[in-house]
Amino acid sequence: MNLDQLVAIDTHVHAEVSCCQPPDLFGKEFDEAADKYFGTVLKLGRRPTIPETIEHYRQRNIGFVMFTVDCEANLGRRRIPNEEIAEFAQKNSDIMIAFASIDPHKGKMGVREARKLIEEYGVRGFKFHPTMQAFFANDRLAYPLYELIAEHRLTAVFHSGHSGMGSGMRAGGGLRLKYSEPIHLDDVAADFPDMNVVIAHPSWPWQEQALSIALHKPNVYIDLSGWSPKYFSPELIRHANTLLKRKMLFGSDFPLIQPDRWLADFKEVGFREEVHPLILKQNAVGLLGLESR
């Protein structure tokens, strides 16, 4: 990445449409519920492809980290291939970084896939969604994956708090919010100090847990995706301005939250001017090890 040319780095962008396989309509109800929950209005009238997302960010000079969510075991919905995302990142390395997602329930086969993605495709981290994958982050079934990530000193991003996915559906789509309580990440951060842990999203209704863990564990960060900043709690903003100013990361949750909207609201809600460059780019540069490349 040409860091001098980038105005920001969005650490939380979703791949929504594959270019190499047909859409899996099995989870269409979840998409429709999420669109209703977030009030998503896309100019395209549909979710963007990976090339369209790349162009969206290139036009804005914003670097980004992209991943899918592998929840095949719990939801039975086919994921977008990790390899597809990684190949796009290789071809667009000036603007894009690939993370992968592997359902922890895949066991040793999942670890084999993860190693290949790191060593052959250059992925820089992994995304976990405990609610959609139906596991507690400190469940030992995920530890072999964490061991591999820590071995390579990479980053693991974990959804936390309330989930827009399943909101409003009958029985919440069968998804359990309990899996995404941040406190389970305290064990993970303690057991894997060589793995960066990113607690994704304002962690309502457990925000204080996330702030405490990030204060206590040097390898823990918080990304501010999935919410417009105008809905952030005063405590979250206060810590971002002070004790955790080097632990907070810009993330949008695109396409459900547009980066333009997030950045506009970010300027209006009380973040100090001196922390803007940290949150928008510099903290991500350090987390991803970009300054040495």
Write out pLDDT tens, residues 176-222: 999 999 999 999 999 999 999 999 999 999 999 999 999 999 999 99
Question: Averaged over 70-93, what is the pLDDT?
Answer: 95
78 vs 62 pLDDT, higher one: 62
Band of pLDDT at residue 41, cut at 50, 70 and 90:
low
Band of pLDDT at residue 20, cut at 50, 70 and 90:
confident
Alpha-carbon distance of 143 to 261, in angstroms, equals: 37
Strands (E), the chain: 8-14, 62-67, 96-98, 125-128, 155-159, 196-200, 220-223, 248-249
What's the maximum distance between 2 C-alpha atoms anywhere in the chain?
A: 49
Domains in the chain, start-ordered, CATH in brackets?
8-292 (3.20.20.140)
Q: Is 221 helix (H, G, I), strand (E, B) or coil?
A: strand
Written as one letter, the residue type at 102 is I
- Identify the pLDDT of residue 44: 61
**Bond into 259 cis (ω within 30):** no
Write out pLDDT tens, residues 248-258: 999 999 999 99
Alpha-carbon distance of 61 to 200, in angstroms, equals: 23
Instruction: Check: CB of residue 50 under 8 Å from CB of residue 84.
Output: yes
- Identify the pLDDT of residue 43: 62
61 φ/ψ angles, rounded to the nearest 5 degrees? 55, 40
* DSSP assigned state of 61: T
DSSP-assigned states of every residue in 135-169: --TT-GGGHHHHHHHHHTT-EEEEE-SS-STTTTS
* DSSP assigned state of 100: B
Q: Give me the residues paired with residue 13 across strands.
A: 66, 254
Question: Averaged over 60-75, what is the pLDDT?
Answer: 96
Q: Above 90 in pLDDT, residue 143?
A: yes
Alpha-carbon distance of 108 to 116, in angstroms, equals: 13
Averaged pLDDT of the chain: 94
pTM metric for this prediction = 0.94
91 vs 32 pLDDT, higher one: 91
Band of pLDDT at residue 59, cut at 50, 70 and 90:
very high
Q: Above 60 in pLDDT, residue 292?
A: no
Q: Above 70 in pLDDT, residue 157?
A: yes
Alpha-carbon distance of 11 to 24, in angstroms, equals: 26
The count of C-alpha atoms lying within 13 angstroms of the C-alpha of 28, restricted to the half-sphere facing its C-beta, is 5
Query: Mutual orientation of helices 259-266 and 50-60 as an angle, nearest 10°?
Result: 30
Here the tokens at position 11 are: 């650490």
Alpha-carbon distance of 14 to 129, in angstroms, equals: 12
Q: Give me the residues paired with residue 97 across strands.
A: 65
Cβ-proximal residues to 127 (8 Å cutoff; 6+ apart), any chain: 67, 68, 69, 99, 100, 101, 156, 157
Here the tokens at position 23 are: 């859409």
Q: Is 22 helix (H, G, I), strand (E, B) or coil?
A: coil
Write out pLDDT tens, residues 230-289: 999 999 999 999 999 999 999 999 999 999 999 999 999 999 999 999 999 999 999 999
Token look-up 């987390």 returns 287
